[in-house]
């Protein structure tokens, strides 16, 4: 029997440990490609039409796309779900019914947004044509299927 007193290990950027440098580099490459295909957005929607016109609700969206166009996918989802333009406060003029802004993975994962009224927990959704293990337990909307793309 041989006793090994030391071994070289390799740590990927996300903390995953490997015994082989090659496997570590392959993992990092695949992981970075995967992460580059996901973008995160904060959507504020449902304006108060009686007084201020400020948005009363929010939603955190993760968009997975191999084709890019993450912002456009998020915008199209919101248009179909909330409508884009509608009457404003007390029926006077028009206003948009949602606002989409970029956010980060940490904010999405946490699910809590600091607002002028205090902290609020927002619902989350994944817009993706495929199931992703990293997002198990989060509602998924298959935009390719629902919008008739192939």
Nearest partner of 39 among 131, 127, 133, 144, judged by Cα = 127
pLDDT in tens, 100-150: 999 998 889 888 887 767 788 899 999 999 998 888 889 999 999 999 887
CB 44 within 8 A of CB 55: yes
Is residue 96 scored above 90 in pLDDT? no
Look at 18 and 77; give whichever has higher pLDDT: 77
Q: pLDDT > 70: what percent of the chain?
A: 99
Q: For residue 96, what are its two tokens?
A: 């948009």
pLDDT at 72: 96
pLDDT in tens, 43-64: 999 888 888 888 888 999 999 9
Name residue, tokens 């950027």: 13
pLDDT class of 13 with cuts at 50, 70, 90: confident
DSSP characters over 42-67: EEEEEE-TTTT--EEEEEEEEEE-SS
pLDDT at 42: 95
How far apart CA 58 and CA 77 sit, in angstroms, is: 14
Neighbours of 3 (CB within 10 A): 4
pLDDT at 41: 97
DSSP state of 134: G
pLDDT at 119: 85
How far apart CA 143 and CA 123 sit, in angstroms, is: 18
């Amino acid at each position: 029997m041989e006793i090994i007193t030391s071994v070289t290990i390799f740590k990927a950027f996300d903390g995953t440990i490997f015994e082989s440098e090659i496997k570590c580099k392959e993992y990092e490459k695949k992981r970075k490609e995967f992460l580059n295909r996901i973008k995160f957005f904060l959507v504020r929607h449902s304006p108060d039409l009686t007084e201020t016109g400020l948005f009363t609700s929010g939603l955190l969206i993760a968009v997975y796309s191999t084709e890019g166009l993450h912002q456009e996918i998020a915008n199209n989802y919101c248009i179909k779900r909330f409508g884009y333009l509608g009457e404003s406060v007390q029926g006077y003029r028009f206003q948009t019914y949602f606002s989409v802004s970029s956010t980060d993975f940490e904010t999405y994962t946490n699910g809590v947004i600091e607002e002028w009224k205090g902290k609020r927990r927002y619902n989350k959704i994944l817009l993706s044509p495929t199931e992703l293990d990293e997002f198990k337990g989060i509602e998924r909307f298959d935009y390719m299927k629902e919008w008739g793309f192939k």
